[in-house]
Amino acid sequence: MADDDAQAGDALDDEARTALAAELCELLGDAVAETHIQPGQNLWVRIDFEHWHTAMQSLRDAGFNYFGFLSAIDWSDAPEGRYEDTEFDDTLDDDDASSSTAEQTVRHGGGEARFELLAHLHAPTRHQAIIIKSDIPDVDGAPAAVPTITDVFDGADWHEREAHEMFGIHFEGHPNLAHIYLPTEFEGHPLRKDFPLLARAVKPWPGVVDIEEIPPELEAQLEAEVMAEFEASGAAG
């Protein structure tokens, strides 16, 4: 019964999300490139890049005035792959290998660009939330500059600084794109897929190691010890 109630509630929520998607398409007009409803979870709205700032203003004025987060995604595959070959890699067949790449990952709401912006907005009085996304054009292998939304949402300040630091996205008009985590002189952007993880070139990822088989004589000894303990416990009982 509880599962039925939960499914009924999800269905009602999705109906509300469908209505909200239509409402936002009317509100934002040509700025909306695509909408996607993740059943029982989220409404995603992809907007054209050139409308990023004006769309955020319109959404804030329409009641989505609680800023949750802003971040980015680099959808490309790491050129160095896993940085080491292991027995695990050899056991992957072609289907497994292809399905593990970023290109095969589901992009809610479409999109084809390498870099993508994400922002989560909430309308407190309506108890509704949306995820806004936008494909960032590529300029010589780097993301194009994005207009800041710190004048729309004060809370976007540190989020844009982090995206600038980690992905190399420049937010035009931001008052202070200083590093948060890394030294000022640090070069590169660690969350880009082409950023070299040099530490992993000399030390494998934890867990990605070749597993050594137990020698037969040791395995037999362990089995004998376990059986002896089991029989002793049975006799004591």
Q: What pLDDT shows up at residue 210?
A: 53
CA 163 to chain centre: 13
Provide mean pLDDT across the span 122-145: 92
65 and 156 Cβ atoms separated by less than 8 Å:
no
In a domain, 65, yes or no: yes
Q: What pLDDT shows up at residue 97?
A: 47
- pLDDT band for position 24 (50/70/90)? very high
Reduced to 3 states (helix: H, G, I; strand: E, B; else coil), residue 60 is helix
Reduced to 3 states (helix: H, G, I; strand: E, B; else coil), residue 123 is strand
Provide mean pLDDT across the span 149-177: 96
CB-based contacts of 176, cutoff 8 Å, min separation 6: 161
Residue with the larger pLDDT of the pair 14 and 223 = 14
In a domain, 203, yes or no: yes
Provide mean pLDDT across the span 64-92: 71
Can you tell me the distance from the alpha carbon of 115 to that of 136, in angstroms, rounded to the nearest whole number? 5
Residue 233 confidence (pLDDT) above 80: no
Can you tell me the distance from the alpha carbon of 237 to that of 67, in angstroms, rounded to the nearest whole number? 64
Domain enclosing residue 45, as ranges: 2-211
* High-pLDDT (> 70) share of the chain, %: 74
Q: Tell me, what amino acid is at 228?
A: A
Give the residue from 187, 56, 197 showing the smallest Cα distance to 118: 56
Q: What pLDDT shows up at residue 173?
A: 97
Which CATH number characterizes residue 39's domain?
3.30.460.80
Q: Which of 51-65, 137-151, 185-199 has the lowest mean pLDDT?
A: 185-199
In a domain, 222, yes or no: no
Q: What pLDDT shows up at residue 237?
A: 55
- pLDDT band for position 103 (50/70/90)? very low
In a domain, 68, yes or no: yes
Provide mean pLDDT across the span 149-171: 97
In a domain, 80, yes or no: yes
In a domain, 143, yes or no: yes
What pairing do the DSSP bridges indicate for beta strands 66-74 and 42-47? unpaired
115 and 72 Cβ atoms separated by less than 8 Å:
yes
In a domain, 147, yes or no: yes
Can you tell me the distance from the alpha carbon of 220 to that of 237, in angstroms, rounded to the nearest whole number? 26
* Number of domains composing the chain: 1
Residue 204 confidence (pLDDT) above 90: no
Q: What is the mean pLDDT of the chain?
A: 82
Q: What pLDDT shows up at residue 82?
A: 46
In a domain, 224, yes or no: no
Q: What pLDDT shows up at residue 4?
A: 52
